[in-house]
Amino acid sequence: MPMQVILTQDVQNLGTAGELVSVKPGFGRNYLIPNGLAVSASVQNKQRLEHEKAVISRKVAKERAAAQSIADRLNGMTLQFERLVGDDEKMFGSVGARDITEQLKRANLEIDHRWVDLAQPVKALGKYEVPVRLAAGVVATLKFWVVGKEK
């Protein structure tokens, strides 16, 4: 028997904030409600839904504006990573999402490493572009170079 909840935040593959959705009871009771992503769809909560939609839409707009300002900074940024190279420009190590977020942190821009949409760590020298999926559905493109340095 599905459980109805009202989402308080956007949940990927489920719905947007303020939406009334049906979920499995365990998912709603054990994940969505305790993490503040949803409230149960009781009669009282359904009546408050209209008021909550306005509050939630303002909150989402504020998050989207903050995410857009971060995206603007990321779009204009180019990072450079130096990695040791051996014979035939064979790179030792790789550049992963955590490396990218560490370098962004040094540039006073903190994001979650899970937002960096890097399918696999970069293991070759060159120029790369990676999408960064920020909160509220804003996507930025981050450019970075991987250059070699001798031992």
- Separation of alpha carbons 136 and 57, rounded Å: 11
Q: Is the pLDDT of residue 49 over 80?
A: no
Residue 26 has pLDDT above 90, yes or no: yes
**Structural domains of the chain, count:** 2
Same domain for 20 and 78: no
Pick left, alpha or beta for residue 11 (phi over 0 → left; psi -120 to 50 → alpha; otherwise beta).
beta
The answer to which of 1-5, 16-20, 44-48, 131-135 has the lowest mean pLDDT is 44-48
Tell me the pLDDT of the chain averaged across its residues. Answer: 88
**Of 17, 47, 65, which residue is a domain's last?**
65
Could you tell me which residue, 111 or 17, shows the higher pLDDT?
111
pTM of the predicted model as reported, rounded to 2 decimal places:
0.65
Q: Round to whole Å and give the CA distance between 149 and 85.
A: 6
**In the listed set 43, 65, 87, which residue is the last one of a domain according to the structure?**
65
CATH number (domain holding residue 125): 3.10.430.100
> Do both 61 and 81 map to the same domain?
no
Chosen domain end from 13, 34, 65: 65
- The CATH number covering residue 50 comes to 3.40.5.10
Q: How many other CB atoms sit within 10 Å of the CB of residue 126?
A: 10
Q: What pLDDT score does 151 carry?
A: 67
Mean pLDDT of 102-107: 92
